[in-house]
Amino acid sequence: MSASTTTVGHDEVAALKTVALRGGLGEPVKVSCSTLGERLDASSQTASRRLQRLEAAGLLERDVVGDGQWVTVTNAGERRLRGEYADYRRLFEGEAGLSLSGSVTSGMGEGRHYIQLSGYHEQFVERLGYEPFPGTLNVSLSEAAVRARAGLDSVEGVPIDGWEDEERTFGPATCYATEVSADGESFTPAHVIVPERTHHDEDQIELIAPAKLREELGLDDGDEVRVRVTDAERADEPASPTETTEFGGSA
């Protein structure tokens, strides 16, 4: 079963967290299904199935031995846990969004091409509320920002639908509202654009804006930037109500 077809629910995430708390986040940790089952208030068989699902989803690696198994949380598993952590921070600390830092780098020039394609361009104008500059700002994330990037899953983004023409199919993407800062200067509006299919690794992000960010902020390759990501609302939809008394009612 491939990772893309494996369903990972709250029970599996609880097992993943338990493995991480036992030391499996940084190195292999020995786990028995009976002990794991006790911690999860489940049977050994259920604990074993949860580990198998996590392995199939690419969230952990297992090396089964005679008296148990050595288990390690993968990078994808760590990202999943960091996403959960970001959700709880928003819940209990009221902190929305996240900050990412990195350095400006040159891309391959594909951003200009894709942004100007009518199927994407029309959605950018309609849903983001501006006509983007024909090009993207590429940022190579710091090591800490690569780990923090998992928090994007807890931030509201603007969906950009996939589409097709007579020759090929173009995949969907999500745009996250950002403020870009460098040397005391900031620019907004801007968005981190995350295609569903991308050639970029997790250590890079692309930014779009209504102006050329390199010129607006005086950026060259290697310059440090900070990207503050917050919840985004579609420009073509009314703003969400800020106050409600109960479901179905308004203040």
Binding site members for CDP? 107-112, 211-214
Task: List the structure tokens of 161.
Answer: 């639908």
Compute the distance between CA of residue 88 and CA of residue 134 in angstroms, rounded to an integer.
37
Task: List the structure tokens of 218.
Answer: 């005086």
Dihedral angle computed from the Cα positions of residues 42, 47, 48 and 53, in that order, rounded to the nearest 10 degrees: 130
Q: List binding-site positions for Mg(2+).
A: 136, 138
Q: List binding-site positions.
A: 107-112, 136, 138, 198, 206, 211-214
Task: List the structure tokens of 205.
Answer: 């992000």
Q: List binding-site positions for FMN.
A: 198, 206
Cβ–Cβ < 8 Å for 111, 173 = no
Compute the distance between CA of residue 178 and CA of residue 223 in angstroms, rounded to an integer.
18
Displacement of CA 89 from its chain's centroid (Å)? 16
